[in-house]
Structure 1
């Protein structure tokens, strides 16, 4: 999706096993998208991974408080760890 509002619309129109969202998105940021997902009866249990260029602990805590299952910083991104976490959250091996 090009922005958070489009992501929310796609989510409500389709079926997904997991959401990976950047925090910094126009119209609806990743934190608010996560809050909407958690408030939705239909999608409340959907795993959410937030990705950001921000690496501060307080920002990570804010993402987790919003309901994210995982928080990934682009500054110390490790593809192997990321994919393992995504598989775990999506219920795959």
Structure 2
């Protein structure tokens, strides 16, 4: 579980990132969750964009993605979801205490 200070730090780091995944009409798929898990292992912090034609609620999408990839949900802002998961092999971010 992330503290408020850690979430603030991660939000600042994520500000400059571009979304690398898009959730569209098909919604959240098992393959998408696997790909996001792989991307989180490589990058630790990613953005996911929820498209206008997505039939699911963006908060529901965020919950399913974070639960499926076992990641921390940092923020849902507009149609963008920010996810964080500490990398086992490729640690890049040092979270504040």
Shorter-chain-normalised TM-score: which range?
Answer: 0.3 to 0.5
Q: Going by fraction, where is helix more abundant, 1 or 2? A: 1
- TM-score (norm: length of structure 1): 0.36
- TM-score (norm: length of structure 2): 0.35
Q: Going by fraction, where is strand more abundant, 1 or 2? A: 2
